[in-house]
Structures are given as C-alpha cells and as structure tokens.
C-alpha cells in the first residue's frame, strides 16, 4: 500500500489536486505494480507564513 505525501504551499485548487492525485496514483500503480485502489495520496497544505526559503518566509516575499 504506497502512501504518497505531497507538501505544497497552500492555494492549489481542488481541480489541481484531483489531477495530481490521478496522475501520481496511476504512475505509482503502474511502476510499483500495485492496484490503483491501494495507492494513497495525502496533501499537506502549508501556509505561506510557515514556509521559508533563503532565510525569508514566503509571506514576506509576497509582501514586497
């Protein structure tokens, strides 16, 4: 039972998550030779206030 966790900055639409879930699940099922219904995809939406890169929070980058 593969479990794939995808951590993204918040803001993706439900349609984007549906498309990602379908594409990733199909690829894992095919490559890992496991039934599609056994593939789990979990999205972790991280607020821009809780994610930084290069010493700067994403929330602060967008404020400039």
Give per-residue pLDDT as tens, 12-52.
999 999 999 999 999 999 999 999 999 999 999 999 999 99
Q: How confident is the model at residue 62, as a pLDDT?
A: 76
Write out the DSSP string of the chain: --EEEEEEES---HHHHHHHHHHHHHHHHHHHT--GGG-EEEEEEEPGGG-EETTEEHHHHHH-
Residue positions annotated with a catalytic role: 2
Burial (CB < 10 A; 0-12, 13-18, 19+), residue 63, is exposed
Is the pLDDT score of 64 beyond 70? Answer: no
Q: How large is the average pLDDT for residues 7-11?
A: 95
Q: How confident is the model at residue 63, as a pLDDT?
A: 66
């Amino acid at each position: 039972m593969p479990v794939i966790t995808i951590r993204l900055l918040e803001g993706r639409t439900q349609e984007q998550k549906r498309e990602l879930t379908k594409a990733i699940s199909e690829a894992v099922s095919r490559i890992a030779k496991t039934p599609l219904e056994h593939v789990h995809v979990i999205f972790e939406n991280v607020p821009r206030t809780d994610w930084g890169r290069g010493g700067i929070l994403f929330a602060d980058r967008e404020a400039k």
